[in-house]
Amino acid sequence: MTAAINQAVKQAVPTHHHDLKVRHMDFEFSDDIPEFWYDNDPFKTLLLAALSGGFPEGERFFIDSVRHFQEHVKDPELRQAIRAFIGQEAHHSKEHKILNDFLESRGYPISRIDKGVGMAMSWYRKYLSPARQLAHTAAVEHFTALMAEKYLLNSDELAKMDSRMAGIWAWHAIEETEHKAVAFDVYKTAVDSEWVRRSQMAICTVMFLGFSTYDFISLMRHSGRQGDVKMWAKGINYYWGTTGIFRKMIPEYLRYYRRDFHPWQHDSRALVESIKQQYLGNKA
Ligand SMILES: [Fe+2]
Ligand SMILES: [Fe+2]
């Protein structure tokens, strides 16, 4: 029954695996970038900084979890997409490490976040089955695709960032969207347990929200702005208020629990195309 449904979904939803492109970027961050480089707002800036702190170790884990199953994949297009996925995530790790070192040089304890995520990933590697590790990656990839499509690929948001910072977020969001179905399709091909997929998403959600909030607060403490009640109220409302960015993602997040879910049920190519032209120039 499940196989029949999966087959039907596969036929109904194009996977766009051939659209992946590995771009070698070379971001530089100079000292005149303002401390709060996103809308001059500590809340927005440090929220993205906390996420960046977890990328290098997190993305290494994604690569390993997908690579473990690559021999199970026979479809040549998906095999090619796995290689591109690995290339894209490896470059994200590398460029975010440069960004993280820059933020660390300003005194923000990003390396503590990096270390914490590294420890969590080591625990995952040791105690979770490869199937669950891959389910974790597919779950986080749903988060990163949501963040990209519902947030970072919005040109109004990118325009609020210092231009030297907007580039790395636009590039990362574009590639997260391009490869959003790779880990998912490898999971469907090689594992395909609905229980593991859904339960791992539930676990991942709790962990992701918990750790991100903790990391964000630790950076906020460092900024010295933790006592600014007005800034907190404005920030919480921006993300979680009635029309808040994160609140608006909830229906799309919940779709992941549907048996017939597939990341490309939401076609985001037009959105990516416009941002590509604007932010990637000749690397689009
Ligand atoms: Fe990434
Ligand atoms: Fe990714």
pLDDT confidence of 18, banded at 50, 70, 90? confident
CB atoms within 10 A of CB 161: 21
pLDDT of res. 12: 67
- Distance from residue 141's CA to the centre of ligand 1 (Å): 8
Whether residue 29 is contained in a domain is answered as no
DSSP 130-172: HHHHHHHHHHHHHHHHHHIIIIIT-HHHHHTB-HHHHHHHHHH
Whether residue 9 is contained in a domain is answered as no
Containing 196, the helix (H) or strand (E) segment is helix 194-223
- Distance from residue 233's CA to the centre of ligand 2 (Å): 31
Total number of domains constituting the chain: 1
- Distance from residue 241's CA to the centre of ligand 1 (Å): 27
pLDDT of res. 133: 98
* The residue to which tokens 């796995």 are assigned: 82
Residues 6+ apart with CB under 8 A from 249: 146, 150, 151
- Distance from residue 229's CA to the centre of ligand 2 (Å): 34
pLDDT of res. 256: 98
Structural domain that includes position 166? 15-21+34-279
- Distance from residue 196's CA to the centre of ligand 1 (Å): 23
- Distance from residue 182's CA to the centre of ligand 2 (Å): 9
Whether residue 3 is contained in a domain is answered as no
Q: Residues 213-246: pLDDT tens digits?
A: 999 999 999 999 999 999 999 999 999 999 999 9
- Distance from residue 115's CA to the centre of ligand 1 (Å): 18
Q: Residues 157-173: pLDDT tens digits?
A: 999 999 999 999 999 99
> Which-ligand-closest: CA of 88?
1
pLDDT of res. 15: 76
Q: Which two tokens stand for residue 55?
A: 């990328």
Residues 6+ apart with CB under 8 A from 43: 220, 231, 232, 234, 235, 238
pLDDT of res. 30: 95
Using the predicted structure, report yes or no on whether residue 194 has a pLDDT greater than 70. yes
- Say how far apart CA 27 and CA 96 lie, in whole Å: 9
At position 63, the amino acid (one-letter code) is I
Whether residue 7 is contained in a domain is answered as no
Is 255:261 a contact under the CB 8 Å cutoff? yes
Whether residue 127 is contained in a domain is answered as yes
- Distance from residue 145's CA to the centre of ligand 1 (Å): 10
Residue-wise burial string across 80-109, b where 16 or more C-beta atoms lie within 10 A, e elsewhere: ebbebbbbbbebbbbbbbebbebbbeeebb
Using the predicted structure, report yes or no on whether residue 10 has a pLDDT greater than 60. no
Please return the burial class of 252, using the count of CB atoms within 10 Å of its CB with bins 0-12, 13-18 and 19+.
Answer: middle
CATH code at position 247: 1.10.620
- Output the pTM of the full model: 0.94
> Which-ligand-closest: CA of 89?
1
Whether residue 284 is contained in a domain is answered as no
Is 42:231 a contact under the CB 8 Å cutoff? yes
Q: Residues 111-154: pLDDT tens digits?
A: 999 999 999 999 999 999 999 999 999 999 999 999 999 999 99
pLDDT of res. 90: 98
Mean pLDDT estimate for the chain: 94
- Distance from residue 232's CA to the centre of ligand 1 (Å): 28
Percent of the chain with pLDDT over 90: 89
Q: Residues 40-72: pLDDT tens digits?
A: 999 999 999 999 999 999 999 999 999 999 999
Whether residue 149 is contained in a domain is answered as yes
Whether residue 8 is contained in a domain is answered as no
pLDDT confidence of 281, banded at 50, 70, 90? confident
- Say how far apart CA 135 and CA 189 lie, in whole Å: 12
- Distance from residue 177's CA to the centre of ligand 2 (Å): 8
Give the phi and the psi of residue 140 in degrees, each rounded to 5. Answer: -65, -35
Is 182:81 a contact under the CB 8 Å cutoff? yes
